[in-house]
Structure 1
């Protein structure tokens, strides 16, 4: 199969919430545990297969520190999907989701697909954000909420698969009149690396 589609995905959220670690786990299936703040932006690519089509995911990892935020507006251009990450052990990063949503509303296309991700769900004792509250909040926004752990790999495959399928459905299938997929195949996704989609860990 020829590679026909390229989806640009932006990862947003405060500094230190684990955006880089989630991306590293998804692309390389590894976790180093060494924290290094992203300077500006970085990008990685992984190809997935959705409903029989090869799709290249071009994922941009952005710096969450305030001093870099003024340069971020240009990276919202032509973005089809956004992964908005907060740290379940840092309530402040969850409260700042409102700030990032305002930035998305200001700079991104109206039909961009957004996935809210609570990272570090393996850190049970340090949790400061209730899963149910975050899920209710996401539902009020009309976005999907997933909890994940870059440390254990829990739900990392799932969150990227979820967003990729959502983008495919929104930007490809809905813009191709007459295309009909069998019910069992419409959201089929095969990821080329890793161990598959995991259940929620929290």
Structure 2
């Protein structure tokens, strides 16, 4: 049996992450669900192999040039690149965590904001546990478009099956007063979308880790509770979609092959 390397210390989540702004929070809670906590403790005590990973899927959508790729790269690679390169079709990163003592992975899909790639990207919305709609806080028009992006992503998923987040990027470009005004508008839109709002800066890193920790924790807890609800034994809790490193490589390779085919068709 092959074992995955230990999770890095900055990806270990023991306490339930809070939302940075109570006004923008959908789930007001300070701790893990008690049923989920007990199940995690039981599962961790069994010392299951770290090559058995529970994985959730998050898709990131929004207009062209709102900072979707920068958002993902700041968290996954801790880099910020000024030179913008538009995403072609879709791309994804896989981040590994340790949640309440259990191994867990978040698959983060970066989708293109260009109109000509919408038909390609929409195919990758399916099966999402999390939908992250992104707008540029320095361009209020992109906020107006977020509801349409969310609607298109929800079409590909079961009703009420996804956590929804509204993320404003580039807050570093705004003054304190401008930021407050934009946040007030965004919180109102987020309420209409039944989404949790976050304001971040990929350039400075402000709120980036906190945001993705919140995303991962909510998705992980939901997966545990779904396992309990469907009657899986405690020995299986945390397994869900069981994938080892080789399976992840095969999955990525297959996704890239499908993407190239779709791109070729789009340009014919």
**Which TM-score band applies after superposition, normalised by the shorter structure?**
0.7 to 0.9
Matched residues in 2 for 1:8 and 1:105: separation? 14
Deviation at 1:153, TM superposition (A): 0.4
Q: Which has the larger displacement, 49-58 or 112-121?
A: 49-58
Equivalence for 1:85: 134
More helix by share: 2
Matched residues in 2 for 1:28 and 1:155: separation? 15
Instruction: Count how many residue pairs are aligned between Structure 1 and Structure 2.
Output: 179
Question: When the two structures are superposed, what TM-score results if normalisation uses the length of structure 1?
Answer: 0.82
**Max radius of gyration: which structure?**
2
Show structure 2 runs of 5+ residues with no match: 1-48, 233-268
Question: When the two structures are superposed, what TM-score results if normalisation uses the length of structure 2?
Answer: 0.62
More strand by share: 1
Confirm or deny that 1:140 pairs with 2:192.
yes
Q: SS state of the match for residue 133, structure 2?
A: strand
Confirm or deny that 1:171 pairs with 2:220.
no
Show structure 1 runs of 5+ residues with no match: 180-202
Q: SS state of the match for residue 150, structure 1?
A: coil
Equivalence for 2:33: none
Equivalence for 2:169: 119
Q: Is the 8 A contact 2:122 2:153 kept in 1?
A: no
Q: State the superposition RMSD in angstroms.
A: 2.0
Question: Which structure 1 residue ranges, 4+ long, deviate > 6 Å from structure 2?
Answer: none
Matched residues in 2 for 1:41 and 1:83: separation? 14
Cα deviation per residue 1:5-52 (whole Å; 9 max; x = unaligned)? 111111100010000001110011111211000000111111112111
